[in-house]
Amino acid sequence: MKEVVLKVAQAGCAAGEAYFLETGEKTETSEVTDRNAELARYDSAVSALDRELSESAADSDGETAAIFETERILLEDPKSAGMVRQFIENDGMSSVSAVEKTGNVLAEEIRRNGTAVISQRSGDLNGLTERLVSLLRGGEKDIPAHPFILVAQELSPAQLSAVNPEQILGIVTAKGSPASHVSIIAGNLGVPYYYGSEEAIAEIRSGVRLVLDAGKLILDPDDEMYRMAAEAMNAAKEEKHRKKAAAEGAGIRTRIFANISSPQDIPALIASGADGIGLFRTELLFLNGAAAPTEEDQFIAYRRVAEAMAGKDTVIRTMDLGSDKQSAWLSLPKEKNPALGCRGLRISLQKEALFKTQLRALLRASAYGNVRVMIPMVTSGWEVDRVREAMAACAGELSDEGLPYRLPPLGIMVETPAAAVTADHLAEKADFFSIGTNDLTQYTLALDREAVGLESYYDPCHEAVLRLIGMTAAAGHRHGISTAICGELAANPDIIEKLIELGVDELSVSVSKVSATKAVALEAENRLSRKNRKPEPVSLAAPADGKLVPMKDIPDPAFSSGILGECTGIDPENGKIYAPCDGTVLFIAETKHAVSLLMADGRKILIHAGIDTVQLRGDGFTIFVREGDTVAVGDLLLEADLEKIRKAGLSPMVITACCP
């Protein structure tokens, strides 16, 4: 048994066998004869690593998934891929040497810049290089089938993706830091992570028993220590599962999505905890280049996003060009009022080839995730019909070409008053609605959204806009389709409760506002459910012996109309009137013919002896309680002289009213 004090990046206790992940074995530079075969080896190692990283991202969530997605972006970096290819093609290097050399060159470049974030990136790049090299050599060897404590000189997220996270009981490395990506992943997995002693780590062999506890690494512990540490580890795991299940149970009904404009936004999106993508603005793909993006360019971008979302809703909007989003290559004619001219879907329907290229890419990407296509600037149903026809034509082509595709659901953006007012009609043609409040405000209030000096007129909370939102959501619900809001209004904390009350099902906000919007929506839902909660029916005992008379037959409209709440009458056999429930005596009529009780849940019950008996001025009534008395069900409240009441020509009916 040997004890070593280490630094703690993630606290906790673990007991298990070590699995030592070998890294850093350098290769002699050697020249290859078949350069094409070497390039193919490199390509297949990159694909294998990309698959591993994307599976790791899909199996995790929040920050951890975001870290794996960032690694994918690093892996896809065209500069490093170009360098590796050059070393192979021009210098005849083996793929392993080319990857190592590229890693060294880039890491050195990054290190020269020198900030903490940059040096983290350099560590991640080293790890990526190591992992690629390992895959080129045939992958990690002898990974145990059972859970283990992962040991390495140095570790990166890419190397972690080589092992099943469920098998990791703890992590120990020679070099590390509490702020590293590996530390964040360990924290999210709920496993301890210790680091800091090269000599101690060098001594560890795979298979040896380890304990991590209170900042100490114990090599080869005795049985008792090992058993106790294993028990503490299992108890901590159970507690974590319990808390996770409880947190998941406290979820909200309104789904909170994120708006993105590029696959580069994915790591931040995943870290935000968004329930999906509510709006992928594809314009960026069209605006940045010197020409329209090809089908392949678009397919890669959409597929990347769809895969990263791992089954969650991924709403991709077709190009919303024109107006404020002009691109040089599209050379649209100058218009006097571009916001009212050829923009959004109108351009797509005019430029058929351009639109079909995008639709083909979207249909193909739909085979890789839960893609939902959305069209901007709709005003009439025939536009939706035209899009469906174009989608069907693309599907036919793809099927003839033998390319995998799926026909995705088609939603419309409700961002013109025309669409909102005819939402009932459009709901028959669309699979979902998403309200673009930025444009809906502009078109409803007749105000250019970029008008300078008129900002005070641009009010997305204007009653007219809110009514259109309400109409749209109501129409959606009548037709069984969901309504989202993807304009800026969705993130306004002052209006979220109103939007939910209007029937909006989803809010899609910028990535940085997801968690704040979730918190506000949760509070709003709780408030609304308290407000709308129907009171439990009251169960009351009969206050007198006699025959029950339903509310509608009580011969006094003050009671039968319901103004005084739910009422029942009793034709009494005798004059004794009892408390129908537990409560406090709130009020006794001066004329002694009526008593009211306050129940524990705040509701009030009125017990009224006879109809119009107020005119007897207390003659013939005896009261047995005082205001403020606590009474139990069945306690005698008052006694009425039925003969006297009848003689006065009045009805002796005893009425109980449960006041609202």
Rounded to a whole number of angstroms, the minimum distance from the CB of residue 414 to Mg ion is: 10
- Indicate left, alpha or beta for 187 from its phi (over 0: left) and psi (-120 to 50: alpha): alpha
Least distance CB 59 / ligand PEP (angstroms): 32
Q: Could you tell which of Mg ion, ligand PEP, none binds residue 386, using a CB distance below 5 to 8 A set by kind? A: none
- Concerning whether 486 is annotated as a catalytic residue, the answer is yes
Q: Closest separation between CB of residue 450 and ligand PEP, Å?
A: 11
With binding defined as CB under 5 A, does residue 283 bind Mg ion?
A: no
Nearest to Mg ion of 12, 436 (CB atom):
436
Q: How far is the CB of 467 from ligand PEP (least distance, A)?
A: 17
In single-letter form, the type of residue at position 586 comes to L
Question: In this chain, which stretch among 96-104, 411-419, 557-565, 588-596 interacts with Mg ion, using CB under 5 A?
Answer: 411-419
Q: What is the phi/psi pair of residue 2, to 5°?
A: -140, 140
| Furthest-apart CA atoms within the chain: distance in Å | 123
> Residue by residue, what is the 3-state secondary structure of 267-311?
HHHHHHCCCCEEEEECHHHHHCCCCCCCHHHHHHHHHHHHHHCCC
> In 3D, which of 530, 468, 457, 529 has the Cα closest to residue 499?
468
Segment contacting ligand PEP (CB under 6 A): 208-216, 431-439, 529-537, 634-642?
431-439
With contact defined as beta carbons under 8 Å apart, do 406 and 366 qualify? yes
State how far the alpha carbon of 190 is from the alpha carbons of 11, 237, 320, 599, in Å.
Answer: 9, 8, 43, 49
Any catalytic annotation for residue 479?
A: no
| Site for Mg ion contains 439 (CB under 5 A) | yes
User: Is 462 near ligand PEP (CB under 6 A)?
Assistant: no
Give the HSE-up count for residue 184: Cα atoms under 13 Å, Cβ half-sphere.
16
Residue 265 contacts which entry, Mg ion, ligand PEP, none (Cβ below 5-8 A, type-dependent): none
Determine the residue type at 191: V
Is position 281 an interface residue for ligand PEP (rule: CB under 6 A)?
A: yes
436 lies in the site for Mg ion, by CB under 5 A: yes
In the complex, least distance from residue 376 CB atom to Mg ion, rounded to whole angstroms:
6
Stretch that binds ligand PEP, among 84-92, 213-221, 228-236, 433-441 (CB under 6 A): 433-441
Q: Which two tokens stand for residue 145?
A: 């089938």
Binding residue (CB under 6 A) for ligand PEP from 38, 52, 439, 506: 439
Minimum distance between the CB of residue 281 and ligand PEP, rounded to whole angstroms? Answer: 5
Residues 468-527 within binding reach of ligand PEP (CB under 6 A): 486-487
Site string for ligand PEP, 396-425 (x = CB under 6 A): -------------------x----------
What are the distances in angstroms from CA 639 to CA 578, 646, 652?
Answer: 9, 15, 12
Question: Can you read off the two tokens belonging to residue 106?
Answer: 């880039």
Interface pattern 313-352 for ligand PEP (x via CB under 6 A): -------x--------------------------------
Q: Quick one: tokens of 281? A: 């603005």
Pick one of Mg ion, ligand PEP, none as the site partner of residue 506 (Cβ within 5 to 8 A by kind): none
- What are the Cα distances from residue 61, in Å, to 128, 189, 269? 21, 10, 10
616: how many CB neighbours lie within 10 A of its CB? 19
Say what the alpha-carbon torsion angle 656, 657, 658, 659 is, to the nearest 10 degrees: -150
Q: What are phi and psi of 607, to 5 degrees?
A: -115, 120
- Tell me how far apart the alpha carbons of residues 480 and 320 are, in angstroms, rounded to a whole number: 27
- How many residues bind ligand PEP, per CB under 6 A? 10
Please say whether the beta carbons of 364 and 373 come within 8 A: no
In whole angstroms, how close is the CB of 317 to Mg ion at the nearest point?
9
487's contact among Mg ion, ligand PEP, none, with CB below 5 to 8 A by partner kind, is: ligand PEP
Q: Which stretch binds Mg ion (CB under 5 A): 61-69, 326-334, 415-423, 624-632?
A: 415-423
Q: Which two tokens stand for residue 273?
A: 């905890």
Q: How far is the CB of 338 from Mg ion (least distance, A)?
A: 13
Q: Which stretch binds Mg ion (CB under 5 A): 216-224, 272-280, 408-416, 473-481?
A: 408-416
- Looking at the Cβ atoms of 192 and 263, the one nearer to ligand PEP is 263
Give me the residues that bind ligand PEP (CB under 6 A), please.
279, 281, 320, 415, 436-439, 486-487
- Please list the active-site residues: 181, 486
Binding positions for Mg ion, rule: CB under 5 A: 415, 436, 439
